[in-house]
């Protein structure tokens, strides 16, 4: 097995890379990257629009894990035209190689392909992206499906929800922002009444799902799966858990918001029946992320 991994230096991709090397050995992994990664077999590309690599460079690749894409750090960048179109251009460039030994593609997509809904979201829910980012990832899913049909190879589209854990601080998400404020002795903010429900899935659960999708036998193929938590929690309650973990007296400040209440609740039965044996308990995952960020904070003081 020769595995090509894109996005190996990103939050999720870096965790996948470590697991792949530990599971299959360093010689079985190629990281397609714009920057050299120490002690990893790397193929360096020039740009997302033009890799400037040889057509036959990936002739021996049997499996691709496509984790490399633009992921918005906030709601504004989720509609950045150039960055979102870059997701499509990047995948187009990747699929243009010979790939004569390819057997399966694992594509990391997003739950942002679904329509806004007050219902519990599953793989059967309505598809209607509300951002350019979601639209770009949906288009990439369709590209994968068309390519797989044409080349007679297998695919799995994994639609990721809110992934948390060490490294998440690269994005402007509620957990790392709140942890950072707690560490700095500042109040944490809640917008609105904090009753909005969210579903947080731990990074280790995502990695396990990706690697299992890679190694499943031939009967497991050509499917879309939501990689999400099936347990929803309010923003207010998750902040209370972080404060409990910190052991500090932290003020929660309620701020006004122009956004209407929106819950993100998922049915993850398909995930648990196929790729993930068990969800990581939220409190356990939060302790790991808090400890990681506390260590970084103390080392930077």
Mean predicted confidence (pLDDT) in 225-234: 96
Predicted pLDDT at 48: 86
Cα(25)–Cα(28) distance, integer angstroms: 6
Q: Residue 159: CB partners within 8 Å, gap ≥ 6?
A: 109, 110, 111, 113, 123, 224, 225, 226, 227, 228
57's tokens:
């460079």
Mean predicted confidence (pLDDT) in 266-292: 96
Tokens 């500042």 belong to: 186
Listed by start position, the domains of the chain span 3-164+202-227, 168-198+231-300
Mean predicted confidence (pLDDT) in 266-272: 96
- pLDDT of residue 255 exceeding 90, the answer is no
Predicted pLDDT at 301: 66
> pLDDT for 90-112, tens place per residue?
999 999 999 999 999 999 999 99
Second CATH level (architecture) for the domain 3-164+202-227? 3-Layer(aba) Sandwich (3.40)
Mean predicted confidence (pLDDT) in 268-294: 95
- Percent of the chain's residues with pLDDT above 90: 79
Mean predicted confidence (pLDDT) in 65-89: 92
**Which of 55-64, 141-150, 217-226, 273-282 is least confident?**
217-226
Mean predicted confidence (pLDDT) in 182-202: 91
CB atoms within 10 A of CB 282: 19
- pLDDT of residue 221 exceeding 80, the answer is no
Q: Residue 295: CB partners within 8 Å, gap ≥ 6?
A: none
> What phi and psi, each to the nearest 5 degrees, are found at residue 9?
-100, 0
Predicted pLDDT at 192: 83
Q: Residue 203: CB partners within 8 Å, gap ≥ 6?
A: 11, 12, 15, 163, 164, 165, 166, 167, 168
Alpha-carbon dihedral of residues 58, 107, 149, 42, nearest 10 degrees? 0
CA distances in angstroms from 111 to 12, 41, 48, 128, 253, listed in the order given: 15, 31, 23, 10, 30
Mean pLDDT over each residue of the chain, to the nearest integer: 92
Tokens 């251009």 belong to: 89
Contact yes or no for 105/148 (Cβ under 8 A): yes
**Distance linking the first and last C-alpha atoms of the chain:** 45
Instruction: Using pLDDT thresholds of 50, 70 and 90, give the confidence band for residue 300.
Output: confident
Cα(258)–Cα(11) distance, integer angstroms: 30
CA distances in angstroms from 32 to 58, 148, 210, 228, 277, listed in the order given: 10, 20, 17, 26, 29
Residue 159, H or E segment: strand 154-160
> pLDDT for 40-56, tens place per residue?
999 999 988 899 999 99
> pLDDT for 12-27, tens place per residue?
999 999 999 999 999 9
Second CATH level (architecture) for the domain 168-198+231-300? Alpha-Beta Complex (3.90)
Predicted pLDDT at 63: 96
Predicted pLDDT at 122: 96
**Which of 3-7, 120-124, 293-297 is least confident?**
293-297
Cα(28)–Cα(35) distance, integer angstroms: 19
Predicted pLDDT at 219: 54
Alpha-carbon dihedral of residues 199, 204, 206, 208, nearest 10 degrees? -140
């Amino acid at each position: 097995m020769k595995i090509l991994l894109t996005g190996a230096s990103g939050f999720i991709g870096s965790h996948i890379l470590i697991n792949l090397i530990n599971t299959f050995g360093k010689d079985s992994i190629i990281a397609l990257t714009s920057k050299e990664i120490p002690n990893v077999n790397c193929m360096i590309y020039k740009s997302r629009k033009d890799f400037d690599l040889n057509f036959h460079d990936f002739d021996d690749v049997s499996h691709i894990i496509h984790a490399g894409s633009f992921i918005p750090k906030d709601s504004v960048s989720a509609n950045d035209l150039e960055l979102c179109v870059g997701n499509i251009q990047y995948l187009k460039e990747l699929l243009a190689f010979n790939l004569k030994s390819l057997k399966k593609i694992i594509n990391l997509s997003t739950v942002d392909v679904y329509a806004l809904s007050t219902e519990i979201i599953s793989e059967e829910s309505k598809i209607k992206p509300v951002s350019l980012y979601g639209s770009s990832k949906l288009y990439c899913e369709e590209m994968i499906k068309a390519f797989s049909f044409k080349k007679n190879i297998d695919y799995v589209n994994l639609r990721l929800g809110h992934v948390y854990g060490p490294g998440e601080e690269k994005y402007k998400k509620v957990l790392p922002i709140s942890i950072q404020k707690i560490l700095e002795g500042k109040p944490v903010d809640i917008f609105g009444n904090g009753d909005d429900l969210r579903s947080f899935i731990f990074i280790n659960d995502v990695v396990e799902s990706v690697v299992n999708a890679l190694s499943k036998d031939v009967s497991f193929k050509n499917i879309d799966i939501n990689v999400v938590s099936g347990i929803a929690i309010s923003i207010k309650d998750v902040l209370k858990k972080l404060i409990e973990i910190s052991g500090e007296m932290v003020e929660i400040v309620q701020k006004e918001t122009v956004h209407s209440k929106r819950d993100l609740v998922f049915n993850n039965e398909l995930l648990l029946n196929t790729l993930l044996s068990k969800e990581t308990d939220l409190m356990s995952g939060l302790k790991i992320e808090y400890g990681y960020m506390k260590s970084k904070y103390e080392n930077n003081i």
